Amino acid sequence: MSMVAHSPPSAGPARRLVDGRRLIIGIVLLLTAIVIIAPVGVILIQAGSQGFGAFLGSLSTSDTRAAIGLSLVTALIVVPINTLFGIAAAWAIAKFRFPGRKLLLAIVELPFSVSPIVAGIAYLFVYGGQGLLGPFLDAHDLKIMFALPGIVLASMFVTAPFVARELIPLMTLQGNDDEEVAATLGAHGRQIFFRVTLPNIRWGLLYGIVLCNARVLGEFGAVSIVSGSIRGETNTLPLQIELLYHDYNTAGAFAAASVLTLVALVTLVVKLILEARIGEGH
Amino acid sequence: MRSISILTAAAVFALGGFATASAEEPTKILNASYDVSRELFVAVDKAFVEKYAKDTGKTVTIDQSHAGSSKQARSILEGLDADVVTFNQTTDVQVLADKGFVAADWQAKFPNHASPYYSLPVFLVRAGNPKNIKDWDDLVRDDVKLVFPNPKTSGNARYTYLAAMAYAKEKFGNDDAKVEAFMKKFLSNVPVFDTGGRAATTTFVEREVGDVLITFETETMGIRKEFGDDKFQTVTPSVSLLADFPVAVVDKVADKRGSRQLATDYLNFLYTPEGQTILAENGNRVRNEAVAAKFADSFPKVRLVTVDEVFGSWADVTKKQFGSDGVLDRLLAGT
Q: Tell me the per-residue pLDDT of B105-115, one tens digit each, with 9 for 90 and over.
A: 999 999 999 99
Which among B7, B8, B20 is the nearest to A141, CB-wise?
B20
Residues of B with Cβ-Cβ distance to A77 under 8 angstroms: 11
pLDDT band at B146 (very low <50, low <70, confident <90, very high): very high
Record: contact B38-A246, CB cut-off 8 A: yes
Tell me the C-alpha distance between B93 and B180, whole Å: 30
Residues B276 and B193 in one domain: no
Instruction: For residue B73, give Cα distances in angstroms to A146, B64, B199, B242.
Output: 13, 14, 21, 22
Inter-residue contact B146 to B125 (CB < 8 Å): no
CA distance, residue B75 to nearest chain A CA (Å): 7
Range of the domain at B326: 121-241+302-334
Residues B38 and B180 in one domain: no
What is the residue-wise DSSP string for B263-315?
HHHHHHHTTSHHHHHHHHHTT-EES-HHHHHHTGGGS---EEE-HHHHHS-HH
Contacts 24+ apart (CB under 8 A), A185-194: none
CA distance, residue B203 to nearest chain A CA (Å): 13
Tell me the C-alpha distance between B22 and B20, whole Å: 6
Residues B152 and B230 in one domain: yes
Of A120, A63, A78, the closest CA to residue A240 belongs to A63
Average pLDDT over residues B238-258: 95
Instruction: Say what percent of chain B tops pLDDT 70.
Output: 92
Record: contact B63-A129, CB cut-off 8 A: no
Residues B328 and B231 in one domain: yes
Q: Tell me the per-residue pLDDT of B162-181, one tens digit each, with 9 for 90 and over.
A: 999 999 999 998 799 999 99
Give helix B90-98 / helix B69-77 axis angle, nearest 10°: 10
Residues B41 and B188 in one domain: no
Q: How many CB pairs under 8 A join A and B?
A: 94
Residues B140 and B234 in one domain: yes
Record: contact B65-A228, CB cut-off 8 A: yes
Residues B152 and B237 in one domain: yes
In a domain, B175, yes or no: yes
Record: contact A134-B78, CB cut-off 8 A: yes
In a domain, B8, yes or no: no
Residues B216 and B322 in one domain: yes
In a domain, B5, yes or no: no
Of B43, B95, B31, B208, the closest CA to residue A228 belongs to B31
Average pLDDT over residues B64-86: 91
- In this predicted structure, what is the pLDDT of residue B273? 96
Taking only the tens of pLDDT, chain A with its 282 residues reads: 444 445 455 556 777 777 888 889 899 999 988 888 888 888 888 777 777 887 888 888 888 999 999 999 999 999 999 999 999 999 999 988 889 899 999 999 999 889 999 999 999 999 988 888 988 888 888 889 999 999 999 999 999 999 999 999 999 988 888 888 988 988 888 888 888 888 889 889 999 999 999 999 999 999 999 998 898 899 999 999 988 887 777 788 888 888 888 888 888 888 888 888 877 755
In a domain, B266, yes or no: yes
CA distance, residue A213 to nearest chain B CA (Å): 18
A→B contacts (Cβ < 8 Å), by residue, are 77, 81, 84-85, 88-89, 104, 107, 124, 127-131, 134, 137-138, 141-149, 152-153, 156, 160, 228-234, 243, 246-248
Q: What is the mean pLDDT of chain B?
A: 89
Q: How many residues would you count in chain B?
A: 335
CA distance, residue B71 to nearest chain A CA (Å): 9
Inter-residue contact A234 to A146 (CB < 8 Å): yes
Residues B155 and B237 in one domain: yes
Tell me the C-alpha distance between A152 and A171, whole Å: 28
Which among A88, A146, A231 is the nearest to B3, CB-wise?
A88
Of B295, B256, B270, the closest CA to residue B83 belongs to B256
Q: Which amino acid is present at A11?
A: A
How many helices (H) and strands (E) would you count in chain A? 16, 0
Which among B4, B65, B226 is the nearest to A230, CB-wise?
B65
Residue B161 maps to which CATH number? Answer: 3.40.190.10
Tell me how far apart the terminal alpha carbons of chain A are, to the nearest angstrom. Answer: 24
Record: contact A129-B79, CB cut-off 8 A: yes
Query: B122 has which bridge partners?
Result: B215
- For A180, other C-beta atoms within 10 Å of its C-beta total 12
In a domain, B270, yes or no: yes
Number of domains in chain B: 2
Task: Spell out the residues 6+ positions from residue A178 whose beta carbon is closer than 8 angstroms to its own.
Answer: A196, A197, A200
Task: Spell out the residues 6+ positions from residue A37 whose beta carbon is closer than 8 angstroms to its own.
Answer: none
Tell me the C-alpha distance between A209 and A230, whole Å: 29
Inter-residue contact A126 to A226 (CB < 8 Å): no
In a domain, B253, yes or no: yes
Record: contact B38-A248, CB cut-off 8 A: no
In a domain, B12, yes or no: no
In a domain, B259, yes or no: yes
Which among B7, B12, B198 is the nearest to A81, CB-wise?
B7
Record: contact A144-B80, CB cut-off 8 A: no
Residues B226 and B310 in one domain: yes
Residues of A with Cβ-Cβ distance to B226 under 8 angstroms: 248
Residues B201 and B77 in one domain: no
Residues B186 and B328 in one domain: yes
- For B287, other C-beta atoms within 10 Å of its C-beta total 15
- In this predicted structure, what is the pLDDT of residue A4? 46
Helix%, strand%, coil% for chain A, nearest 5: 80, 0, 20
Nearest residue of chain B to residue A144 (CA atoms): B16
Residues of B with Cβ-Cβ distance to A92 under 8 angstroms: none
Q: Is the pLDDT reported for residue B118 higher than 90?
A: yes
